[in-house]
Amino acid sequence: MFVDNPIINSPFEEPTRFWEYREGQPVLAEGRRPAGFYLKARTRGPQVALLEEEFVPLEQVNAIRERVRAWRARGYPGVTPITRQLLNHWNDPERERKLFFCQREAAETLIWLVEAPPAERQGIEIPKDNTLTRYACKMATGSGKTVVMGMVIAWQVLNKLANPQDRRFSDAVLLVCPNLTIRERLQVLLPWKPKNYYDKFDLVPRGFMERLQQGKFEITNWHLFQPKDDSRSRSVVQRGVERGAAFCRRVLKELGSKQNILVINDEAHHAYRPAPLPEEMRAGLSAEEIAQREEATVWVSGLDTIHQERGINFCADFSATPFYIKGSGYDEGAPFPWVVSDFGLVDAIESGIVKIPRVPVDDDSGALIPKYFRLWEYINQQLPASERQTARRRAKPESVLREAEGALATLASEWKRTFEEFQKANSPVPPVLIVVCDNTDLAKLVHEHIARGNVLSELANRSGQEVTFRIDTKLLAEAESAQEGETRQEAAEWLRRTVDTVGKTEWDGEGDPPGKNIRCVVSVGMLSEGWDAQNVTQILGLRAFGSQLLCEQVVGRGLRRMNYDDFSEPEYVDVYGVPFEVIPIKKKPIGRSGGEKVSTLVRALPERKHLEITFPRVEGYIFDVRQRIRLNLEKMPYLTIDPTHEPTEVVAKPAVGYRVGRPDRLGPGAEVLHDRNPFHREKRLQAVVYEIAAEVTGRLKDKRQDWVARHLLFPQVLAMVWEYLEERVVVVDRETPLEEIALLRYKERIIERLSQAIEPDVASGEQPILPVIERFRPLGSTSEVLFRTVRPTVGTTKSHISHVVLDAPSWEHSVAHHLESAPEVVAYARNDHLDFTIPYEWEGVRHEYRPDYIVRWQGPDRALINVILEVKGFESERDRQKAVAAERWVRAVNYHGEFGRWVYCVCRHPHRVREQITEAIRAAGFR
């Protein structure tokens, strides 16, 4: 019988069924899902079919799982009396507060590895990490790994106190974590604390708490493992780099002189031993990947020092994703070899322990893959080449928001429905929408858009009431990494406190927690680990997700349940833009071919900063109008509002089981229909029209003109907006309201078309135009050039950039030679990776023209002129269109007056480049 419910197991018993996809069909399989991961082939050719992905079992974990199950069934032979009492207590069917099966199994696995008779463990060899014994327990976010840490601590400390000579046990515990937030959360593992987990979850039998408090405990974050070095200080006494004994005295001050220490690594995927990388591979790492390698090195080196000085019994590692990451030097997604137990996210979902991610599986756009599923990929496909994300530049923030606003408005509309349900239930906290952005510029723009009420009034910030909150990652990192006794900026600390208390009704400060009423969090990357808000109900990803590990980590921020009384009742988190498929994915490395060409590093040279060339980034033009204006409506194109451009309905469904390939409507769980009706109700048509008219009026004026002229223009523009809507806007689906024009996708197109079509109502004379400059990237610069190439190059002396790349070696080399020798040339730059573009239209489509060079030329009067140089032999009709666009660019920028003087020059003969630039400057009226 087909069971249409994602939750198919009890959280308190070992799973007996699991959802499996066979040839794309969901099947309810009997038994327990084997532990493993998916292997995805990579080739240099076209991407392989997703069906070629192969499941790779974790043989060691599966073998241990079977041994532990049999050992459990026989009554745990070989354990100490203390351990038996604890196991009986944890497994007692009459317990008021039952422990999850995954919690009991993780603790049992560690006990089995330490206490089971040797015959039980025969054939099981856990590889050491250098000299460290490490056991990793993989547990899904929200499945209660902190409780398991408490169980392990109680087992170890109580046994050691009962048998002081038994070196299998430790009564000195060091807990290491990645940040201050988690360090504070782990205080619940100190048995003398009022709200400790031993009492809250009944982890030790009656009468054992007093003994447990005799243990020694130290909780720290890895930053403390950075060795001290005072060799550069001005102190009279300089000790130099901190030695091992001094390091241990500082780091283990709460443990005294204790040896044979039990180490618990929380979020242990940060604690690995990076593999050596060749220099060329290191050069290709991002700043984030370099920082992760450094963190891992400091963390593991600190453990090595403690092990050498005091001895580490073993490390119990806990993580939802104990896998090597990109930049580690190992295969991305490969599991740590010391993983011993596995209860992953899919298992937790099927047991009802966590919320179920609900992802788009269909929409009314007609696309094979729903547009909001792989949102970042879809956005980049929609953007013109000049605005797209590349290896050298980020996508233009305004364009990303324009393309993403439909998804944001739809998900925010679903948030509003959830908000109304929370209000009906008298919830003390609101639901939370998380927006995870690619970079700080995008986060700032998205935050402004939401906080101003442009999406929903309920998400608007008002004086004294901040409900939409942006995380400043720099300040947050400063607060999270601070060591005890250091001074932290108050703003950074308050930021961290606000983040930590989202969804909380109690905290250790005065009054309400600062994050209690937060409704929307806009972050860069993802929220810090340890962030355990239970009221997250929607997540929007506006960034690339290169691996399913990152998908799980981001989705993990919204997995904690609100209700822990009835686990058979599913809870959901709606997720757009996080392509949640198979977790995790390991990729086969690309095979290297022989005979690779030697590459050249082309870069801006710091010592030639005086040769830097800057240029304005122009994205369009507007007429510099005065008072009377006119609009030729007949020449304006129609605007079509069509679901194929922007979905108006999205079908979302639970993501259950390990699914490979595109999402579809098959599988367990109820479908829900998402639309933008709440967004439409707020965006009244008349208000949107006024906003459009105000924006167009603002674009038609520049800062030198007064409000009187603006006052005269607005009524004229307002009438033109209504006229355009009535005559030129076509709604394909009759069910779609005209309020869809409130979306930036349509709104900006209307603004752009009207801004370009409205002209001064004058009898004759050239109409002056002004450039529209990009908001977040107003200036480009040669200082941004940094890339490698295998194309031929020639070195420079008059350029900020080290080399000129020769695509056509004969004429390009000739031009570079003549520019180097011309006395009037102060500096020049080849437009390669410089990203200097001029917008133009060809056959009704917008394109980007990239001239060959920018030259800074000094005239006889010592004045500097910027020359846009194009070298052409044959000229096509399209080339002539580019020249017209370049002349328009020059006219607008020169009229603006704040970016210097510019000239456009087409050179037909490379050896006459000096002569032809001189002629172009003279023709432009410059001397």
**Position 605, amino acid:** L
Same-domain status, 722 and 784: no
Which of these, 839, 720, 375, lies nearest to 578 by C-alpha position? 375
Which is nearest to 63 in space by CA: 349, 339, 345?
Answer: 339
Q: Which residue, of 771, 789, 822, is where some domain finishes?
A: 771
Same domain as 341, residue 366: no
- pLDDT recorded at residue 278: 78
Q: Decide: helix, strand or coil at residue 860.
A: coil
Q: Strand locations in 54-189, DSSP E? A: 54-57, 134-139, 172-177
Domain boundary among 350, 385, 412: 350
Is residue 116 domain-shared with residue 62, that is, in the same domain? yes
Q: Using an 8 Å Cβ cutoff, are 327 and 293 in contact?
A: yes
What confidence score (pLDDT) does residue 625 get?
67
* Domain annotation covers residue 498: no
User: What would the DSSP string read from start to end of 347-367?
Assistant: HHHHTTSSPEEEEEEEETT--
pLDDT at 739: 92
Give the tokens for residue 863.
Answer: 């004045």
Residue 198 is part of which domain span? 31-232+241-350
pTM of the model: 0.76
Say if residue 266 is in the same domain as residue 319: yes
Residue 689 within any structural domain of the chain:
yes
Whole-number Å distance between alpha carbons of 875 and 907: 11
Q: At 398, is the secondary structure helix, strand, or coil?
A: helix
- 858-867: burial string, b at 16+ Cβ within 10 Å, e else: eeeeeeebbb
DSSP H helices in 383-453? 397-424, 440-451
Q: Where are the beta strands (DSSP E) in 665-802?
A: 672-675, 729-731, 759-760, 769-773, 779-781, 786-789, 793-795
Confirm if 144 and 103 have CB atoms less than 8 A apart: yes
| 525: region left, alpha or beta (phi > 0 left; psi from -120 to 50 alpha) | left
* CATH code (residue 788): 3.40.1350
Q: Please check whether residues 563 and 414 belong to one and the same domain.
A: yes
Say what the pLDDT of residue 487 is.
Answer: 52
CATH number of the CATH domain containing 578? 3.40.50
243 secondary structure, DSSP code: P
Give CA–CA dist 361/383, Å, rounded. 23
162-171: string of b/e by CB count within 10 Å (b at 16+)?
Answer: eeeeeeebbb
DSSP E strands, 668-775: 672-675, 729-731, 759-760, 769-773
Grouped pLDDT means (10 residues each) for the chain, 927 residues: 69 92 75 80 37 70 96 95 97 92 97 94 93 95 93 97 96 92 89 94 94 96 84 55 90 94 93 84 73 89 95 96 85 89 91 90 78 90 80 83 94 96 93 92 93 95 91 64 56 77 83 90 71 88 76 81 86 87 36 49 91 94 74 85 87 76 73 90 91 86 51 86 92 87 89 82 65 88 89 87 79 81 93 91 80 91 91 78 90 91 90 89 82
**350, 385, 401: which is the final residue of a domain?**
350
Same domain, 413 and 395: yes
Taking the C-alpha atoms of residue 667 and residue 25, their distance in angstroms, rounded to an integer, is 7
Residue 380 CB neighbours (<10 A): 18
Taking the C-alpha atoms of residue 369 and residue 661, their distance in angstroms, rounded to an integer, is: 10
288 & 343 share domain? yes
Residues 303 and 393 in one domain: no
CB 261 within 8 A of CB 176: no
Q: Which residue's entry shows tokens 């009986």? A: 88
Phi and psi at 197, nearest 5°, equal -75, -20
CA distance 318 to 340: 11
How far apart, in whole angstroms, are the C-alpha atoms of residue 906 and residue 543?
40
Smallest CA-to-CA distance from 140 within 496, 596, 584, 502 is with 584
In a domain, 501, yes or no: no
Does 298 lie in the same domain as 190? yes
The DSSP secondary-structure symbol of 596 reads P
Cα→Cα distances 83→110, 205, 653, Å: 12, 11, 44
pLDDT at 703: 39
- 646 CB-contact burial (10 Å; exposed 0-12 / middle 13-18 / buried 19+): buried
- β-pair partners for 17: 30
The secondary structure of 324-354 as a DSSP string is: PPTTSSS-TTPBPTTEEEEE-HHHHHHTTSS
18 located within any domain: no
In this structure, the strands spanning 54-57 and 134-139 are: unpaired
Q: How many Cα atoms sit within 13 Å of 744 on the Cβ side?
A: 19
**Residue partners of 437: CB distance under 8 A and separation at least 6:** 443, 446, 522, 523, 524, 542, 543
Same structural domain for residues 365 and 465?
A: yes
Instruction: Looking at the structure, tell me whether residues 762 and 799 fall in a common domain.
Output: no
> Which residues lie below 8 Å from residue 268, measured CB to CB, with a gap of 6+?
136, 315, 317, 318, 319, 322, 336
- The answer to whether residue 539 sits within a structural domain is yes
d(CA 603, CA 373): 37
Answer yes or no: is 201 within a domain. yes
DSSP string, 444-467: HHHHHHHHTTSS-GGG--BTTB--
Are the C-beta atoms of 499 and 449 separated by less than 8 Å? no
Q: What is the DSSP letter of 501?
A: T
Cα–Cα distance measured from residue 891 to residue 624, given in angstroms and rounded to the nearest whole number: 12
Q: Is 240 left (phi over 0), alpha (psi -120 to 50) or beta?
A: left
**CA 445 and chain centroid, separation:** 16
- The number of domains in the chain is 4
pLDDT of residue 246: 92
Say if residue 848 is in the same domain as residue 819.
yes
Q: Is residue 88 part of a domain?
A: yes
CA distance 902 to 898: 11
Alpha-carbon radius of gyration of the chain: 32
Within a domain: 448: yes
